[in-house]
Amino acid sequence: QRENAQGGAGPGMKLGRAALGLLLLAPLAVRAVEPISLGLALAGVLTGYIYPRLYCLFTECCGQKRSLSREALQKDLDSKLFGQHLAKKVILNAVSGFISNPKPKKPLTLSLHGWTGTGKNFVSKIIAENIYEGGLNSDYVHLFVATLHFPHASNITLYKDQLQLWIRGNVSACARSIFIFDEMDKMHAGLIDAIKPFLDYYDHLDGVSYQKAIFIFLSNAGAERITDVALDFWRSGKQREEIKLKDMEPALSVSAFNNKNSGFWHSSLIDRNLIDYFVPFLPLEYKHLKMCIRVEMQSRGFEIDEDIVTKVADEMTFFPKEERVFSDKGCKTVFTKLDYYYD
């Protein structure tokens, strides 16, 4: 482990040094301690402290997770997520508050709603990276895509059993597991309800506590309603930053629940109030696309070329047809379009 910022050593470092001292002093202590007792003591130190921590230097360990920094999370959201003042505020407060709570009453459950390319997947990535160094590649972060992992309605019963066993097994291995479900609006409602027990206010289920886990649902459900609100504000001459969560959240939850084409239809996640936050993602405007392009250029090691930024943004399509206010694909395709200029 590292020494703390003040230059001192934490309890773990002190114990490690004590163990090292014990090893160095071992020859002097042989006469005073039975050889087998000394061997057992040293083995206990090695296996109980030194070995796990050496092991965790080379691979990811659940118990070694870093504490989330609210400032670092806010910096990531500010520098990488554009046009989403509502989502930034909700995500920052919800995630940082949950992680800092040593005894949460239930798992954190976030439901992210909006059109493709508005940043839902990106926010999931940011959350994962701020909790685990491996981000989405961490052994403790699990991504499910409805159309990929649960494609056949005829196999719902099998999917339910597999999903419940998977969640139980992973939370048993690491209480702070993160589960991300993409295309939630395409998931069978019965399968969604199979997740319900893990999200409720239970101390334990069959000996396992799920209260420190995080569930993130991504969905297009409610996107039309979100766009309607954003468009109303634009037509009335108001800034999108004037949109409040109260303008979105009630209509969004009802929209998601009442859409018969959505997996949320008849889902008890909503009527049992198991979703902690409905997070709306607004449709992106022309200026937000240019922000995405600039960041992508920088991430590829290129200097920002405003001519290319404008050319790529101008190739995108917008809606409504007459006003052309919002990008219909968000930032999702600007990256492939950028490839054309740097091929």
Is the separation of the CB atoms in 86 and 245 below 8 Å? Answer: yes
Is the separation of the CB atoms in 181 and 215 below 8 Å? Answer: yes
Q: How far is CA 324 from CA 302, 312, 314, 318, 333, in A?
A: 30, 16, 12, 5, 17
Side-chain-facing half-sphere of 252: CA atoms under 13 Å: 25
The reply, when asked if residue 227 is annotated as ligand binding, is no
Q: CA–CA separation, 211 vs 24, rounded Å?
A: 43
Tokens of 18: 């004590």
The reply, when asked if residue 117 is annotated as ligand binding, is yes
Q: Which residues contact 69 (CB under 8 A, 6 or more apart)?
A: 130
Residue type, 40: L
Q: Which residues pair with 219 in a beta bridge?
A: 113
The reply, when asked if residue 116 is annotated as ligand binding, is yes
The reply, when asked if residue 237 is annotated as ligand binding, is no
The reply, when asked if residue 265 is annotated as ligand binding, is no
The reply, when asked if residue 234 is annotated as ligand binding, is no
The reply, when asked if residue 97 is annotated as ligand binding, is no
Is the separation of the CB atoms in 245 and 90 below 8 Å? Answer: yes
Estimate to the nearest angstrom the gap between the alpha carbon of 236 and the chain centroid: 35
The reply, when asked if residue 330 is annotated as ligand binding, is no
Q: What angle do CA 28, 29, 30 make, to 5 degrees?
A: 100
Side-chain-facing half-sphere of 274: CA atoms under 13 Å: 24
Element (H, E) at 216: strand 214-219
Helix ranges (H only) for the chain are 11-29, 35-45, 51-58, 70-80, 85-100, 120-131, 146-149, 156-173, 189-199, 223-235, 245-258, 268-271, 286-299, 306-314, 334-341
Q: Which residues pair with 208 in a beta bridge?
A: 205
Q: Residues marked as binding?
A: 114-121
Q: Residues marked as binding for ATP?
A: 114-121
